[in-house]
């Protein structure tokens, strides 16, 4: 696995850990949602780097996933991907409605975002590790 791929995964793991640490804080649901979004974005960018799919300067999870999908079609819930994408800008800046059309995410929604981000991170990380093992098999000893 490329060094840059590992770096993206490391940053994604940091965002996932931050989301988990704040998960039960009702006053920080927007921050958890932001870190969940960042986890997915950075994980997708790790795959893009690993396969030399080009560096797209976007935070759009759907655009990033369209590049990744042919190599690792791990996301079944595109609605959740769209929902998580919608919180990116709104989580960073104040707005009249909050993060979602219904306002600040609830603890239940935040837990869904976190679980989704964790699942994407775990699946893609494992797939990248498996791909690395397939392309770099253990050397056999000749006796």
CATH number given to 3-135: 1.20.120.330
Model pLDDT for residues 116-139, shown as the tens digit of each residue: 999 999 999 999 998 777 665 555
Greater confidence (112 vs 59) lies with 112
pTM: 0.86
Torsion 68-52-17-126 (CA) sign:
positive
Which pLDDT score, from 0 to 100, does residue 75 have?
Answer: 95
Burial class (CB in 10 A: 0-12, 13-18, 19+), 26: exposed
Model pLDDT for residues 15-50, shown as the tens digit of each residue: 999 999 999 999 999 899 999 999 999 999 999 999
User: Are the C-beta atoms of residues 100 and 86 closer than 8 Å to each other?
Assistant: yes
**Confidence at 95, pLDDT banded by 50, 70, 90:** low
């Amino acid at each position: 696995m490329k060094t840059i791929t590992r770096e993206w995964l490391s940053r994604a793991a940091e965002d996932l850990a931050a989301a988990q640490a704040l998960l039960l804080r009702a006053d920080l649901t927007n921050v958890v949602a932001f870190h969940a979004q960042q986890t997915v974005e950075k994980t997708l960018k790790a795959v893009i780097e690993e396969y030399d799919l080009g560096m797209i300067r976007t935070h759009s999870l759907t655009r990033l996933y369209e590049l990744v999908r042919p190599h690792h079609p791990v996301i079944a819930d595109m609605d959740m991907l769209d929902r998580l994408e919608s919180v990116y800008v709104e989580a960073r800046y104040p707005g009249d409605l909050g993060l979602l059309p219904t306002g600040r995410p609830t603890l239940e929604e935040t837990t869904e975002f976190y679980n989704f981000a964790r699942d994407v991170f775990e699946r893609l990380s494992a797939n990248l590790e498996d791909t690395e093992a397939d392309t770099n098999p253990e050397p056999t000893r000749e006796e």
